[in-house]
A and B are shown apart, each in its own frame.
Chain A
Amino acid sequence: MFRKTLMAACAVFALGNTAQAATEITWWHAMDGALGDVVNQITEDFNASQDEYKLVSINKGGYEDTMTAGIAAFRAKNQPNIIQIFDAGAATIINAKGAVKPVQDLLEANNVKFDINDYIPGVRYFYADSDGKMIGMPFNSSTPLLYYNKDALAKAGVDVPKTWQEFEAAAPKLKEAGYTALAQSHSPWIFFENFMSRHNLQMATANNGYDSTDVEILYNNDALKDHWQHVKDWKDAGYYGYYGRAWGANQDAFVQQQVAMWIGSSGSFGGLRKSAQFEFGASTLPYWEGTGDAPKSTFIGGAALFAFSGHDAEQDAGVAEFFKFLTKPETQYYWHKETGYVPITNAAYELAKKDGYYKESPDAEVGITQLSEEGGEWTKGYRLGFYVQIREVIYREVDKIMNGEETVDAAFATIEEEANGLLKRFNDTYSN
């Protein structure tokens, strides 16, 4: 009896000890709903896989809320170890000198094998500095895709358009069949940023902003303006549905079969599978044949994980350990399958192929194929300050193009002027 009690006491003591010894690391993220559940599962799996570190993941709302929470916490010297920052906010955190530790340094310092070529081409340099050193760990990576209603296309007797020229030929037939041909959910991301990448056009001076904060935007160009003139003409002809800036409103139009094709994110796949009451498929983002040297790969959207500075070596080692776990092919494959985000490493992509996942659902591969398409000089990404506000300017001016308040030329002149004003402010703020 006495021995048993002693053993139990020892066991309790030992357990208590390990719990105490586990270093706690915190991760603030912007994944809620179904995505949040997947993040929690990954967190649990990581904690179960080792007993040195205990990861605590906390949802802080949407992308902007998470970034704001991170900023406030950092200023109060109470920052989490890991924070998820979205593409448009990357410049803000990377340019704040000393706010984060480059992921590549962190991994190498903790003897985790790191080779940037293990990552798929599309995500490799998006969160890297101008020398190609990875600063943020790509996490949820998505890319714009064209979703199409198979019944609608069959009814109109058209194929999925690969190019905008093909789209123009198909649109009248779809209209005749009773559909608006197209809608899309994110004008700045889909019809500005990725338009530039798809056609391999330079988006900003100074190497798309990677080399310096002293940059100017190059949106006011004929190819992009021409595209928007077409969009406006399509809208006036009843081929293009404009349901405002809200992501959901445009997606709903597709789900409710008002529009036959919709451009959303590769990450929209899971949601559509639940809500759409019809057969749909996914295809690559259309391009203008003969513009730039299209087709080239698109940018990644989504967000990356950054390791805040100001933590001790032991916690940083935990962060490195978690990143190692996160980039394992099995974890990435699980993430890819559950969410529709693309796997970020070649090994994970191979694993998904080997497992026969794409045979079973071929549409899930479209996103990663598009990101693995041939890259060009201007397809690796962009790094522009106050880009959140620049997107606001774009949203605003697109509204004005669509309601006829302004011509395409006038709207693009405003975008150029205001974006450059913001970039200058950013440069003045961050360059000293």
Chain B
Amino acid sequence: MKRVQFEHSAVPYLFIAPQILIICIFFLWPAAQALYQSFLLEDAFGMSSQFVWFRNFEDVLSSSSWTRSAIFTVVFSVMVSVLSIAISLFLAVRADEVIRGAKSYKTLLMWGYAIAPPVAGLLGIMMFNPLMGDLYKAFNSFGFEFNHIENANDAAFIVILIAVWKQVSVNFIFFLSGLQGIPKSVQEAATLDCKSPERRFWTITFPLLAPTTFFLLVINLTYAFFETFGIIDVSTKGAPGGSTATLVYKVYVDGFLGADMGGSAAQSVLLMIMVSVLTVFQFRFIERKVHY
């Protein structure tokens, strides 16, 4: 057997060089720094530091608040991803069917995309303000004893609600373009074979949307892990009792507010490992079921 070898020049490398450079400067270098910091006990101003091996990791892993935060992060991320994908898929399918005023529906559904997470958080928490929030009053007038100041589940409900609301429009855009990418001929053929629109959706449309769904699953999990930070910071700040603090929020509190460099670096490294494992899992086990 003889392998075919193409002659290649340096030009392709030149083209990918900027991207590689960006990854090195903005990802690999800081990640290496964080890894190094996580083995140090260093004062905030960098006047003295000592190498302590895994001390920081031991301290982090043995704290009950970190464990609580890790569990909340997983539950929160799964719920935010699943809910926002499901809701936006439903909306996209519906909006795709609309004939009159389709543009206005679509535009209105995409609007939320333009809102920054902290602003979304602020809007959300104002609606649940015990003194003047409309949703707070509405919930309590229906007989729920809704109180996110004291009840951890109620507080979690609020941050999940805001995070999902914020993400739905992003997913909506992708699903809508995914739906429009499905050839008309396939859909027409399916209509001839099968009367039930529901069955047509699950056997034809949904599998054809699988690549989009998988892509959204990956970016939604990343969103829930990292980008919801702004929402939490302006809405609950992790209260009550640290029950709504995600891992990223804890890194911020310990590292930025508390100036504990080593401890927060260790937390970042643990978070990095968690997300890497999750990503590998997604690509190995879920992507196999996706047909392009």
Contacts and interface: CB of A to CB of B under 8 A. Distances in A.
Contacts of A253: 131
A244 B240 contact: yes
Contacts of A430: 43, 48
A432 B239 contact: no
B134 interface: no
Contact of A97 (B47, B149, B260): B47
Nearest to B250: A392
Given A67-B259, A249-B130, A75 B254 contact: no
Contacts of B253: 389, 392
B263 interface: yes
Contacts of A418: 63, 65
A242 B43 CA distance: 36
A150 to B, nearest CB: 21
B241 A96 contact: no
A425 interface: yes
Interface stretch (A214-222, A280-288, A398-406): A398-406
Interface in A35-94: 64, 67-68, 71, 74-75, 89, 92-93
Interface string A412-425: 00000010010001
Interface residues of B, number: 35
A90 to B, nearest CB: 12
B238 to A, nearest CB: 8
A169 to B, nearest CB: 27
B241 A429 contact: no
Nearest to A65: B256
B50 A425 contact: no
Given A399-B239, A421-B59, A389 B260 contact: yes
Contacts of A256: 131
A262 interface: no
Contact of B46 (A74, A386, A392, A421): A74
Nearest to B48: A432
B41 A429 contact: yes
Contacts of A395: 239
Contacts, number: 104
Q: How big is the A interface, by class?
A: 35 or more
Nearest to A404: B150
A75 B52 CA distance: 21
A289 interface: no
Contacts of B44: 71, 92-93, 96
Contact of A389 (B45, B46, B238, B254): B254
A400 B149 CA distance: 11
Interface in A213-262: 242-246, 249, 252-253, 256, 258
B63 to A, nearest CB: 7
Contacts of A271: none
B256 to A, nearest CB: 5
B45 A96 contact: yes
Interface string B243-274: 00000000001101111101100000000000
B46 A242 contact: no
B257 A96 contact: no
B288 to A, nearest CB: 42
B124 to A, nearest CB: 14
Contact of A388 (B151, B259, B262): B259
A396 interface: yes
Given A258-B131, A425-B263, A429-B41, A98 B47 contact: yes
Given A71-B259, A402-B150, A245 B237 contact: yes
A288 to B, nearest CB: 26
A388 B152 CA distance: 23
A386 B258 contact: yes
Nearest to A405: B241
A245 B239 contact: yes
Contacts of A429: 41-43, 260, 262
A350 interface: no
B178 interface: no
Nearest to B50: A432
Contacts of A96: 43-45, 47
A403 B47 contact: no
Given A74-B45, A430-B43, A425 B59 contact: yes
Interface in B117-152: 129-131, 149-152
B211 interface: no
A95 B43 contact: yes
A244 B239 contact: yes
B207 interface: no
B259 A92 contact: yes
A3 to B, nearest CB: 57
16 contacts: A68-B256, A68-B257, A96-B47, A98-B47, A244-B239, A256-B131, A258-B131, A395-B239, A396-B239, A397-B241, A399-B241, A402-B240, A403-B240, A405-B241, A421-B59, A421-B63
Interface of B: 41-48, 50, 52, 59, 63, 65, 129-131, 149-152, 237-242, 253-254, 256-260, 262-263
Given A93-B44, A97-B47, 11 more contacts: A64-B257, A67-B259, A68-B256, A96-B43, A96-B44, A245-B237, A388-B258, A399-B239, A421-B63, A425-B59, A429-B43
